Chains A and B, each alone.
Chain A
Amino acid sequence: MANSVFILASIVAILGLVLVALRFAKGPGAIDRIVALDAMTIIMTSLIVAFALFAGRRIYVDVGLVYGLVSFAGVVALARYLEGGL
């Protein structure tokens, strides 16, 4: 029961990721693409932790933590570049 509900939750999250990726592909300006990239990295961080639960390996939670840190730095660097301050 709990496992199938969690599989459904992961499928819904992947569906949201696909919708955000559509905006990333379509977005008319660079800023729309960076907003979509930010949302995509947040969803991917959660999905990496979900994969850690599926695979049963605790170390993947740390992988998700490091991915979140690096993606935050990347989004802030891209935003500063677009603002003209980098």
Chain B
Amino acid sequence: MGAIIGAFVSLLGACFFLFSGIGLLRMPDAFNRMQAGTKATTLGSILFLVGIGIMQPAYLGRTLILAAFIALTNPVSSNALARAAHAYRKRLGAKLTCDALAQDQEASHDR
């Protein structure tokens, strides 16, 4: 019984991987792609790993550690990627409609 529940939880997580791939292919620019590529993979990997842990209880401890590690580090890497995309876009000379990071940087330069 536990094995079937775990397998279906894993299937749900794998569906989030598939949605992340579709989003990365179809979103129009880098910031939208970043949202599809980091949020959906975080939820998908947590579900996939917890499903494997439910299927095979001997792996549950390590997969929970791995899921917690991904939940902690994926937002950090997504933040670094967003800052990199901001700097890269400024170097290209493109304009954003609302740019709070540039306003913050100007305010800290003025001080």
Contacts and interface: CB of A to CB of B under 8 A. Distances in A.
Interface of A: 1-3, 5-6, 8-10, 12-13, 15-20, 22-23, 29-32, 34-36, 38-39, 42-43, 45-46, 49-50, 52-53, 58, 61-62, 64-65, 68-69, 72, 75-76, 78-80, 82-84
A34 B21 contact: no
B63 A19 contact: no
A43 B58 CA distance: 22
B33 A35 contact: yes
Interface of B: 3-4, 6-8, 10-11, 13-15, 17-22, 24-25, 30, 33-34, 37-38, 41-42, 44-45, 48-49, 51-52, 55-56, 58-59, 62-63, 65-66, 69-70, 73-74, 76-78, 80-81, 83-85, 87-88
A40 B19 CA distance: 13
Complex A-B, nearest 7 residue pairs according to Cβ-Cβ distance, in ascending order: A19-B21, A16-B17, A2-B3, A5-B7, A16-B21, A79-B80, A12-B14
Contacts of A9: 7, 10-11, 13-14, 48, 51
B35 to A, nearest CB: 10
Contacts of A39: 20-21, 24, 37-38, 41
B24 A19 contact: yes
Contacts of A79: 77, 80-81, 83-84
Nearest to B4: A2
Given A43-B45, A58-B58, A64-B66, A36 B24 contact: yes
Contacts of A64: 66
